[in-house]
Structure 1
Amino acid sequence: MLLGLTLKNFTIIEDLSVGLSSGLNIITGETGAGKSVIVDAINIILGDKAPAENIKTGKEEAHIEALFDISKDETIKERLVTSGFDIKSGELLIKRIIYRNSRSRVFINGSLSTLTLLSTITQGLVDIFSQHEHQSLLREENHLKIVDDFGKTGDEASHLRDIYQYYSSIKKELDDLEQSKKDKVEKEDYLKFQLNEIVNAALTIGEDERLGEEKLKLVNAERLESSASSAYEELYEKENSVLGTLQKLSNDFKEIARIDPKLNEVAESIEKGMLQLEEAAFSIRDYTTELSSDSQTLEVIEDRIHLINSLKRKYGDTIEQIIQKRDEIEHEVSNIENFDERVRSLSEESEKLMGELLQLARTLSKTRKQSSKKLSEMLEQELKEVGIKGGKFHIQFNDKVISSSGIDAVSFLFSANPGEDPKPLNRVASGGELSRIMLVLKEVIARVEGGSVIIFDEADSGVGGAIAEAVGQKIRNLSRSYQVICITHLPQVAKFADSHLSVSKTHNDNKTQVTIKNLDENERVVELARMIGGFNITQKTLDTAQEMLKH
């Protein structure tokens, strides 16, 4: 049950609070006063998008807040508990804040939440019947959903849809494989050529860097050898080599150290230096021996670098990427080699799923036909109460190729006159008849699974006189089981209100002010008189209004 709704800076409304009661809440007012804005706000509370255009001119943000009593709604409470919300109070408080320059925010029981979770939690909480919703009856694609709603076959239909989607994915893969079968051999040969090219290269990570360093050394081999040979000669080979000079110094210091032992340390230091330089000289000699400007070795390295660069151009910018490409090709080749096995496996899976789908679809079809018969009978009875006394309503089933919805093509057939065969709604039903058919459909389905709140937004349009009163009676009957909020221009409907709210709009100082008032009995008489005769309220219209409220 919707206890209250608060709007701030929403469209033309600056600040408005609406208190609602159980039973039938009637909302009336002049055209353009802002009645339907209330329904727009409730849709946003239930999870609709909230564009910045809904913010009142001159304001930066709009607030919408709704308070529901969910103490008797076990489904909503279970969803809240599952989502981590406290339900001890038995109330659900939803708040939406719409910003002009940023995304809107959602609050559930005071906690920041998401639009997706809001839509999930509020699903089925409120059932809204808008002014032009009856037009959806003209589209046959909507008829099957109505049948499923009435028959409570939504879970079975959803299960079938899930399996069909999986079947479709299997079938698509199978079709793609069959389509590509003719290209399989050619593609396999090409992939194996690529794979062999990479595998035969026997690449190792970091190899390109090492080869680059080796090439640099070989290209400069002559220069390196010249420098090394010169250093070896200076250190060791020439007549006045560094080591020869140090050897003479060492001998001299050893000799004079006999005279002054303090010089032994100097002699030992020279000896150590000689040993280190000698080791360095031999290392240079060995390096010179190893170093060669062998053109054949350089050619091998350059060929290897060329091969690696060629593979990089084809398969990746780095050796790591080339190796990754090799793994991908190996996997693809493996898939091609397992092509026939995959086709066989998918075919078996496809046949198995189709068998399961057909069984589910036939069972679902049987259930749908049983519930449709009951729905037709109930609708014909209810239509009598809204002035279509000789109406015939038939739900026709035609077989179709299995799809995500099953094997049923459903059409609603209708005849308003006795003796006439029922025909498709879009060929025989008037606008007023469509409104009444949709109304009784709503009532019948609400008995089965309706939300705790039902809203009629001028859904009684297209009718008048005694038919309007019959529609009002039907709406009142519905309010005995559900909270009903009904926006109407018909006094024949408004007279049944348990709570009558009047919306008005005034203009002061270039500002628009929307107010809503809960009318007392005297005010209701005046409001009904206005609805009967317009602004020119006379004693006659007041008497008529007074009389209407007595019956």
Structure 2
Amino acid sequence: MLKYLSIRDFVIVASLELDFSSGFTALTGETGAGKSILLDALSLALGERGDGGMVRAGCERAEITAEFDIAALPALQTWLDEQELSGDEGVCLLRRVLDVGGRSRGFINGRSATMQQMREAGEWLLDIHGQHAHQSLLRQDAQRDLLDAYAGLGDEAAQVASAFRVWQALDVRCRELSQNAAAVAAERELLAFQKRELETLDFSAEMWQETQSEYARLSHAASLLETAEFGIEVLNEADSSCLAQLSTLIGKVEAGSAFDPALGETLQLLISAQAELQEAVYGLRHYQRRLEADPQRLRELERSIQTVVDAARKYRATPEELPQVQARIVTRLAELGGDAEVDELQQHAAQARETYLLQAGHLSVQRDRAAQTLAQEISVAMQTLAMQGGQFAVALNALLEPNAHGLEAVEFQVAANPGMPLRALAKTASGGELARISLAIQVALSEVAHVPTLIFDEVDSGIGGRVAEIVGQLLKRLGRRHQVLCVTHLPQVAAAADAQWQVNKTSRDGITFSSITVLSAAQRVDEIARMLGGIQLTDTTRKHAAEMLGYAA
């Protein structure tokens, strides 16, 4: 539950520190004193959107810190551990800083946290019921969500929505294939032909390189033979060939070395050169014998190269890109699938539909059971909220087409007076009746809620007298199971509280400040009297206030 709240420079609050206790606490004060600022600050601490206008005039930033006791919330502690946001055992500390430029930062247990993480933590900690909650009560989607929340069917509803999306995705795919069957068949036939064509081509980068090299060699065979013959002639067969002249030179140098040993090194170099030139002659003769003009093979290579070039031009690619083209064709064929795959897809779609209908049917049974219980509970509450003889019902109307929310539309119905037929809440209830029914529903939901702290922001607007007294008792009853805070303008509601805080607004030097005072027993009498009698307090109003407090206790 909420243990401590610190507010700094927020709207008209300069500095405020509050310690909270269990039970039912009422927040009262003059109209416009800023009673809802406390709730706005808590909402900000729990990750709600904020803007620079929330920073108190003349200040750089606002800061909200809220401390919660989470000893009874093991699921939250586990979540904090998973998010690496754990702090002291049994404690969750939320802090939000908002600067005048609208930028904000959030912290959980002193560690930086995203707004999403702060909102997720807040879902375990606190529920705020606003005074305009009954306005959304007219929408059928809100009515469905309220029923599911009352019955604890959030997970089941999410599973049904997920099953519906799976079914619809498969169903759409099946319809697309059926509607485009002719086009798909034509595309599949073309792709299959192209696949066979490229497979027959049997192209590979290595073979393409070898083919080009062989073609280049054969197409220049005459020139290459001429080059080899010229080399042999120059080196060995001409009258003044290199080897003949080199042999004569070697003989002379060898003879000279007998008289001067210094020519020995030169002689060795010449002998080495002679050996290498002789090897070159052998190599050219071997090349000459191996290289033969082969016109037939050359024509074969020309046809092979032309086939590859034509295929590349057809598929608007270079020859080297043909393997990638073939891979894309194979991939697309796999995407289109064959008739067997279409049949399999239809089977999957049918199975997905059966799964959805099974889960949705189970959800419908649980909703029907919860609808009867909720209707009975609200009908009983209506009798105590100045709607004697009224009846509340939750109708589950079968849909012509199932949707992500199930097989039925949820409709809240009411007969505000005895003998009147049940009709849709949106068409029959007045504003005051809506407010009371909304309160009854919120109380019913709060009874089954696992959130430890419940805050009601003037949900008692539009009621008074004996009904207000009953509302106070309802909130007091809730306070036995939850920590309850209620912003109220009704003395009957405030009198039922276990504790009462007064919100005051003052002005100093033209600057407005808001503060909160925890009222003593005597101060509560004066505050209740003020709420009863207005500005001028009398002994009569004080006596009435004391009696009201005593009766509520």
- Identity over the aligned pairs, expressed in percent? 31
Tell me how far apart the structure 2 counterparts of residues 545 and 533 of structure 1 sit (CA, whole Å): 10
Give the alignment of 1:353-364 within 5 angstroms.
Answer: 353-364=352-363
The answer on whether the counterparts of 2:137 and 2:143 sit within 8 Å (CA) in structure 1 is: yes
Map of 1:107 onto structure 2: 107
Map of 1:253 onto structure 2: 253
Tell me how far apart the structure 2 counterparts of residues 215 and 14 of structure 1 sit (CA, whole Å): 91
Tell me how far apart the structure 1 counterparts of residues 216 and 391 of structure 2 sit (CA, whole Å): 96
Tell me how far apart the structure 2 counterparts of residues 308 and 185 of structure 1 sit (CA, whole Å): 24
Which deviations, in whole Å up to 9, do the C-alpha atoms of 1:356-395 show, x marking residues without a partner? 4434433432332233222222212122222222221122
Say which SS state the counterpart of residue 419 (structure 2) adopts.
coil
How much has 1:430 moved relative to structure 2? Answer: 1.4
Code of the residue aligned with 2:326 in structure 1: it is R
Say which SS state the counterpart of residue 492 (structure 1) adopts.
helix
Tell me how far apart the structure 1 counterparts of residues 310 and 541 of structure 2 sit (CA, whole Å): 101
Using a 3 Å threshold, how does the CA distance of structure 1 residues 109 and 296 change in structure 2: closer, same or farther?
same
Code of the residue aligned with 1:152 in structure 2: it is G
How much has 1:283 moved relative to structure 2? Answer: 5.9
Tell me how far apart the structure 2 counterparts of residues 513 and 136 of structure 1 sit (CA, whole Å): 33
Code of the residue aligned with 1:393 in structure 2: it is F
Which deviations, in whole Å up to 9, do the C-alpha atoms of 1:187-237 show, x marking residues without a partner? 112222443454444443478888999999999999999999988877667
Which deviations, in whole Å up to 9, do the C-alpha atoms of 1:473-496 show, x marking residues without a partner? 222222122111111222332233
Give the alignment of 1:313-328 within 5 angstroms.
Answer: 313=316, 319=320, 322-328=322-328
Map of 1:18 onto structure 2: 18
Moved more, 425-434 or 38-47: 38-47
Which deviations, in whole Å up to 9, do the C-alpha atoms of 1:59-100 show, x marking residues without a partner? 565433211112223443443455556576322212234467
Map of 1:397 onto structure 2: 396
How much has 1:159 moved relative to structure 2? Answer: 3.1
List runs of 5+ in structure 2 lacking aligned partners.
none
Map of 1:382 onto structure 2: 381
Tell me how far apart the structure 1 counterparts of residues 217 and 541 of structure 2 sit (CA, whole Å): 112
| 1:489 maps onto 2:493 in alignment | no
Code of the residue aligned with 2:348 in structure 1: it is E
Map of 1:310 onto structure 2: 313
Tell me how far apart the structure 2 counterparts of residues 391 and 8 of structure 1 sit (CA, whole Å): 47
| 1:190 maps onto 2:160 in alignment | no
Map of 1:368 onto structure 2: 367
Map of 2:159 onto structure 1: 159
Give the alignment of 1:440-479 within 5 angstroms.
Answer: 440-479=440-479
Using a 3 Å threshold, how does the CA distance of structure 1 residues 120 and 324 change in structure 2: closer, same or farther?
farther
Map of 1:344 onto structure 2: 343
Using a 3 Å threshold, how does the CA distance of structure 1 residues 511 and 328 change in structure 2: closer, same or farther?
farther
The answer on whether the counterparts of 1:7 and 1:15 sit within 8 Å (CA) in structure 2 is: yes
The answer on whether the counterparts of 1:218 and 1:298 sit within 8 Å (CA) in structure 2 is: no
The answer on whether the counterparts of 1:386 and 1:474 sit within 8 Å (CA) in structure 2 is: no
Using a 3 Å threshold, how does the CA distance of structure 1 residues 503 and 357 change in structure 2: closer, same or farther?
same
Map of 1:424 onto structure 2: 424
The answer on whether the counterparts of 2:215 and 2:302 sit within 8 Å (CA) in structure 1 is: no
Code of the residue aligned with 2:349 in structure 1: it is S
Using a 3 Å threshold, how does the CA distance of structure 1 residues 281 and 147 change in structure 2: closer, same or farther?
same
Moved more, 375-384 or 59-68: 59-68
Which deviations, in whole Å up to 9, do the C-alpha atoms of 1:473-522 show, x marking residues without a partner? 22222212211111122233223332322333445456553333323334
Map of 1:90 onto structure 2: 90
Give the alignment of 1:207-286 within 5 angstroms.
Answer: 243-279=243-279
Moved more, 297-306 or 259-268: 297-306
Tell me how far apart the structure 2 counterparts of residues 213 and 98 of structure 1 sit (CA, whole Å): 73
Code of the residue aligned with 1:462 in structure 2: it is G
Say which SS state the counterpart of residue 36 (structure 2) adopts.
helix
The answer on whether the counterparts of 1:50 and 1:98 sit within 8 Å (CA) in structure 2 is: yes
Tell me how far apart the structure 1 counterparts of residues 285 and 529 of structure 2 sit (CA, whole Å): 121
Code of the residue aligned with 2:410 in structure 1: it is V
The answer on whether the counterparts of 2:68 and 2:125 sit within 8 Å (CA) in structure 1 is: no
How much has 1:530 moved relative to structure 2? Answer: 4.5
Say which SS state the counterpart of residue 72 (structure 2) adopts.
coil
Using a 3 Å threshold, how does the CA distance of structure 1 residues 66 and 262 change in structure 2: closer, same or farther?
same
Tell me how far apart the structure 1 counterparts of residues 74 and 517 of structure 2 sit (CA, whole Å): 32
Tell me how far apart the structure 2 counterparts of residues 226 and 99 of structure 1 sit (CA, whole Å): 89
Aligned-CA RMSD value? 4.0
How much has 1:38 moved relative to structure 2? Answer: 2.6
The answer on whether the counterparts of 1:250 and 1:270 sit within 8 Å (CA) in structure 2 is: yes
The answer on whether the counterparts of 1:525 and 1:542 sit within 8 Å (CA) in structure 2 is: no
The answer on whether the counterparts of 1:312 and 1:319 sit within 8 Å (CA) in structure 2 is: no
Tell me how far apart the structure 2 counterparts of residues 184 and 164 of structure 1 sit (CA, whole Å): 27
Say which SS state the counterpart of residue 313 (structure 1) adopts.
coil
Code of the residue aligned with 2:415 in structure 1: it is S
Using a 3 Å threshold, how does the CA distance of structure 1 residues 183 and 259 change in structure 2: closer, same or farther?
same
How much has 1:318 moved relative to structure 2? Answer: 8.8
Code of the residue aligned with 1:497 in structure 2: it is A
Using a 3 Å threshold, how does the CA distance of structure 1 residues 134 and 201 change in structure 2: closer, same or farther?
same
Tell me how far apart the structure 1 counterparts of residues 319 and 129 of structure 2 sit (CA, whole Å): 63
Tell me how far apart the structure 2 counterparts of residues 508 and 230 of structure 1 sit (CA, whole Å): 114
How much has 1:452 moved relative to structure 2? Answer: 0.8
How much has 1:244 moved relative to structure 2? Answer: 4.8
Which deviations, in whole Å up to 9, do the C-alpha atoms of 1:370-424 show, x marking residues without a partner? 3322222221212222222222112222222333332222211112211212211
Tell me how far apart the structure 2 counterparts of residues 228 and 54 of structure 1 sit (CA, whole Å): 95
Give the alignment of 1:58-77 within 5 angstroms.
Answer: 61-77=61-77
How much has 1:335 moved relative to structure 2? Answer: 4.9
Code of the residue aligned with 1:134 in structure 2: it is H
TM-score, L = length of structure 1: 0.83
Tell me how far apart the structure 2 counterparts of residues 541 and 185 of structure 1 sit (CA, whole Å): 92
List runs of 5+ in structure 1 lacking aligned partners.
none
Code of the residue aligned with 1:266 in structure 2: it is T
Map of 1:177 onto structure 2: 177
Using a 3 Å threshold, how does the CA distance of structure 1 residues 28 and 278 change in structure 2: closer, same or farther?
farther
The answer on whether the counterparts of 1:127 and 1:450 sit within 8 Å (CA) in structure 2 is: no
Which deviations, in whole Å up to 9, do the C-alpha atoms of 1:450-472 show, x marking residues without a partner? 42111111212222333323222
Tell me how far apart the structure 2 counterparts of residues 297 and 50 of structure 1 sit (CA, whole Å): 79
- Matched residues, number: 546
TM-score, L = length of structure 2: 0.83
Using a 3 Å threshold, how does the CA distance of structure 1 residues 73 and 467 change in structure 2: closer, same or farther?
same
Moved more, 385-394 or 276-285: 276-285
Which deviations, in whole Å up to 9, do the C-alpha atoms of 1:127-173 show, x marking residues without a partner? 21111111121112222222222233334333333323322222222
Using a 3 Å threshold, how does the CA distance of structure 1 residues 462 and 278 change in structure 2: closer, same or farther?
farther
Code of the residue aligned with 2:411 in structure 1: it is S
Tell me how far apart the structure 2 counterparts of residues 212 and 537 of structure 1 sit (CA, whole Å): 110
Using a 3 Å threshold, how does the CA distance of structure 1 residues 247 and 150 change in structure 2: closer, same or farther?
same
Say which SS state the counterpart of residue 138 (structure 1) adopts.
coil
Say which SS state the counterpart of residue 516 (structure 2) adopts.
strand
Code of the residue aligned with 1:263 in structure 2: it is L
Tell me how far apart the structure 2 counterparts of residues 29 and 233 of structure 1 sit (CA, whole Å): 121
Using a 3 Å threshold, how does the CA distance of structure 1 residues 235 and 497 change in structure 2: closer, same or farther?
farther
The answer on whether the counterparts of 1:62 and 1:99 sit within 8 Å (CA) in structure 2 is: yes
Using a 3 Å threshold, how does the CA distance of structure 1 residues 143 and 229 change in structure 2: closer, same or farther?
same
Code of the residue aligned with 1:355 in structure 2: it is E
Using a 3 Å threshold, how does the CA distance of structure 1 residues 107 and 279 change in structure 2: closer, same or farther?
farther
